[in-house]
Amino acid sequence: MDLEHFLKKMPLFSSVPDAQIRKIADFFHIATFQKDTIIFEQGDPSDAMYIIYSGAVFIYARKLQNHDQALIQIELGRGDFFGEMALLSDLPRTAGAKVTLDATLFCLKKEDFHTLLMQNRQIGLFLSRLYARRLSFGADEGSLKPTPVFYTLCATDPNLGLSHFLYSMSYHIATESDKKVLVVEPYLSLEIIMEKFDLSPISCPDRSLYHLLPPKLYSSGDIRWFCHASGFCVLQVNKGFNEQLIPVLPCLMENLKMQYDLVVFSLGHYLGRFGRQAIRLCDKNLLIINNTPSALSGVKDKLSILEDIAGVGLDRVRVGVSHLCGTTGIPRESLKKTLNLSETPQIWVERSEKAIKDRIDTEKRFPVKGARAIARELSGVRIGLALGAGAARGWSHIGVIKVLQQEGIHIDMIAGTSMGALVGTIFAAKGSVDHLIKSTIDRFERRSQVRHKIFDYTLPLHGFLRGKKAMNLVAHAIDHADFMDLLIPTYVVGVDILKGEEVLFETGDVAKAVRASISVPALFAPIRYDGRWMVDGGLLNPVPVNVLEQKGADKIIAVCVESPHINAAQTVRSPGIRQVIARTISIVHGRATSGFVEKSDVVVYPDVQGFAWDDFHKGKVLMQRGEAACRSRIKEIRALV
């Protein structure tokens, strides 16, 4: 039971149901190590991964950097895990591990680790996203650059808009990143490619691409090259010839990865021998599905085939929904459960004129969705916005968002705590700053309006405020939305006051989740949510950068309205009860904000010192402070994106 409780608090297992946690706990065994014990050395065979229950472990490695040996080192503590990368790659240990403080570790053997990945897709998804951000080292750090990634794209049925999605995605990858993209077409004919997707024929970019292929295997007409004006290329293989490529496909892929950062094999809806070989060899496999009830059986069969071919790995098969077939679809949350997916599938193909006509969608719409959303994910350019706690001072978040929108910096996901949750969810509902301003600060121009529209006082048995008015404010502004209705994926942080645990809200009633997150103890009465008594998320996670990291954000902008340096209160009178409570929470938030900075790419600190926690009627001034702070960092933000 102790291990179950410990695992549930770890981000690695945070999305795994409680029933599965109990099964997972059975895989682990306990190992104890004394200080200075070597757990394993760099170069040792990989046989297990470890989670630190207590103590400390030092990770160290020697990496070749400009013919010199560069030392890489880090110390890990309770809740950290290590050793899993060697298990995933099945290669020798790339680093050593030494105990620096007597440690108790939970150990997971190699075969059990692979079983765990097969049975719990959420863990593979978490690791995949985590390493996409953490392990893409730069050359200046003396570590390996990320290798090019091979993808396949197929569909469960014809007429789901596969080509529309593929070429729209390729366009956005090429125009939103510096990645060189190649589409391999083993089935689509020459005439269809050129007519539909505005491609121009080109000569082979580099004849050395074929140098590992047998010279008599092909003729010049078997392989043709095209290029789009945006920069992505297409390699079209004549029908019939693709079968001859099956035995030499690894050689061709080896050549292609020297020239391209991202290669996508377009496999259509029928998996022949060539398609099966490509799925086995590629790192990731994308599947567009028809989500109608009548097609569900076929979707299950196709997904099962893909997973059998792809094998164990980090999120090897991704699923997205097409709305081009049928009129009544299965809700995406139901699809996740029915198909046992690692996450709720996104809508990759909407019913639009360009999708129906099978043309490239080149528009840079916001909120980001569809092919462009996946393109930004594959490109590694998704922007996450972390909005911190801070009561009325959180109105400055609106100024930051306003500047980002004016500068055309599109936000792919949001994580919010307390007031950051309120601002973030209202913005995410419409993707509009104007709507955000009208729904918030425009409603509270005078203190009397604040008292009337937010402060619903009650007998202070559990808190001074009931919080119902604040919840209704959010519910009205977002049209009583569910998290699935938000146009921008958003995550809300709360705290279980009885267990002292952080809780992440990402499904269900948005307004109720925000009400939980803003429940400053003693000011707001706690709210019961799914059997838990919830209070202000800022107690444990005032600026939820780690949530965005877990959800796959590539670049993170954090906004913090609490200073880690607490100034003495400027008053000569004894503070009242509300001031004492607000000051206490401000100190707690300030002390807890020190850990997020190193995980952020840019941190914006609006100058809001001197504003009281209940200065909600000063929204326009606070918004201006947010604008000024964001403008002061805009060059860094632009460089980031």
Tokens found for residue 154:
């197929």
For CA atoms 154, 157, 163, 166, give the dihedral sign.
negative
Contacts of 111 (CB under 8 A, 6+ apart): none
| Amino acid, single-letter form, for residue 557 | I
Contact indicator for 423, 416 with CB cutoff of 8 Å = yes
Is 418 considered catalytic here? yes
Neighbours of 69 (CB within 10 A): 10
| Amino acid, single-letter form, for residue 349 | V
Q: Which entry of 128, 163, 418, 600 is annotated as an active-site residue? A: 418
Number of residues written out for the chain: 641
Contact indicator for 545, 556 with CB cutoff of 8 Å = yes
Distance, in Å, from the CA atom of 219 to the CA atom of 217, rounded to the nearest integer, reads 7
Alpha helices in 296-446 (DSSP H): 296-310, 332-339, 353-357, 370-379, 396-406, 419-430, 433-439
Residue by residue, DSSP assigns 535-574 as: EEGGGT-SS-HHHHHHTT-SEEEEE--S-SSPPPP--SSP
Residue whose C-alpha is closest to residue 156's, from 265, 301, 280, 354: 301
Distance, in Å, from the CA atom of 475 to the CA atom of 421, rounded to the nearest integer, reads 13
Beta strand residue intervals within 299-371, DSSP E: 317-322, 346-349
Contact indicator for 392, 613 with CB cutoff of 8 Å = yes
Residue whose C-alpha is closest to residue 278's, from 265, 292, 268: 265
The 8-class DSSP code of residue 453 comes to H
Contacts of 558 (CB under 8 A, 6+ apart): 385, 386, 388, 543, 545, 596, 597, 600, 602, 603, 604
Q: Which helix (H) or strand (E) holds 100?
A: strand 96-109
Alpha helices in 178-295 (DSSP H): 190-197, 242-245, 249-256, 273-281
Q: Which entry of 412, 536, 554, 615 is annotated as an active-site residue? A: 536
Residue whose C-alpha is closest to residue 385's, from 620, 634, 167, 602: 602
Residue whose C-alpha is closest to residue 372's, from 313, 412, 343: 412
Is 536 considered catalytic here? yes
Instruction: Scan for tokens 């600190």, then name that residue.
Output: 605
What is the phi/psi pair of residue 471, to 5°? -65, -40
Catalytic residues: 418, 536
